[in-house]
């Protein structure tokens, strides 16, 4: 069933998908790659979860809060259980792009708020919007990187070993500064986003 959220935004759809960039094999190489791109891209950590689009829609008057709908990246319903309660505080006709990890939904971008589309807003604003709704819903925002070197050395390098095949983070996503959000017509990569994946230790 299609849900109309805002002008030009109906669910389900194929979310933006990053093209594959270079693999990160060391702290030094990772910082060098990021240094060369930081003036053009916003960097966010890549969570090793399930990509999910979450939307709210009006509930019957006898039900408190919004109806939560969730879709996976291939356009179908997301059928695994996750903690929905915080997101019922959102205005109706709100849409978030994010990941489900360990039964919790973590948005990285806001795509619509209260029936207003954010698709054409720059990526920096969509990220800030996601932070605001997380604050309103009492959920920590997971996709900030206060210190890139600390994030890589603390969260990426130590956990990516042959013995840990399901780490919490798997790399970084570089998003072109000032770019809008493109709804894709099929499963395809978008050149505005690039995934930099941490390589397993040999």
**Rounded Cα–Cα distance for residues 35 and 82 (Å):** 36
What predicted TM-score, i.e. pTM, was given to this entire model?
0.91
14-23, 29-38, 148-157, 162-171: least confidently modelled range = 162-171
Q: What is the structure's pLDDT at 61?
A: 52
Planar angle of CA 188, 26, 17, nearest 5 degrees: 10
Q: What is the structure's pLDDT at 140?
A: 96
**Rounded Cα–Cα distance for residues 62 and 181 (Å):** 35
- Who has greater pLDDT, 176 or 200? 176
Cβ burial, residue 108 (10 Å; 0-12/13-18/19+): buried
Q: CATH homologous superfamily of domain 3-196?
A: DNA ligase/mRNA capping enzyme (3.30.470.30)
Render pLDDT for 55-112 as a digit per residue (tens, 0 to 9). 999 876 545 567 899 999 988 999 999 999 999 999 999 999 999 999 999 999 999 9
- Who has greater pLDDT, 37 or 167? 37
Render pLDDT for 110-155 as a digit per residue (tens, 0 to 9). 999 999 999 999 999 999 999 999 999 999 999 998 888 888 887 7
Q: What is the structure's pLDDT at 25?
A: 85
**Rounded Cα–Cα distance for residues 200 and 24 (Å):** 9
Query: Is the pLDDT confidence value at 167 over 90?
Result: no
Please state the rounded mean pLDDT for residues 28-41. Answer: 90
2-11, 150-159, 173-182, 192-201: least confidently modelled range = 150-159
Instruction: For residue 165, name the pLDDT band (cuts at 50, 70, 90).
Output: low
């Amino acid at each position: 069933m299609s849900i109309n959220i805002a002008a030009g935004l109906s669910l389900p759809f194929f979310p933006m998908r990053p093209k594959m960039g270079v693999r990160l094999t060391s702290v030094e190489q990772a910082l060098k790659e990021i240094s060369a791109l930081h003036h053009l891209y916003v960097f966010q950590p890549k969570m090793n979860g399930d990509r999910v689009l979450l939307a709210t829609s009006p509930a019957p008057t006898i039900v408190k809060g919004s109806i939560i709908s969730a879709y996976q990246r291939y356009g179908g319903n997301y059928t695994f259980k996750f903690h929905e309660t915080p997101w019922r505080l959102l205005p109706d006709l709100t849409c978030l792009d994010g990941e489900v990890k360990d039964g919790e939904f973590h948005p990285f971008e806001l795509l619509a708020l209260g029936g207003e589309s954010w698709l054409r807003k720059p990526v920096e604003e969509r990220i800030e919007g996601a932070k605001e709704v997380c604050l309103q819903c009492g959920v920590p925002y997971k996709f900030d990187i206060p210190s890139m070197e600390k994030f890589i050395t603390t969260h990426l390098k130590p956990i990516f070993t042959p013995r840990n095949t399901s780490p919490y983070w798997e790399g970084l996503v570089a998003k072109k500064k000032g770019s809008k959000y493109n709804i894709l017509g099929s499963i395809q990569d978008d050149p505005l986003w690039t995934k930099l994946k941490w390589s397993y230790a040999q």
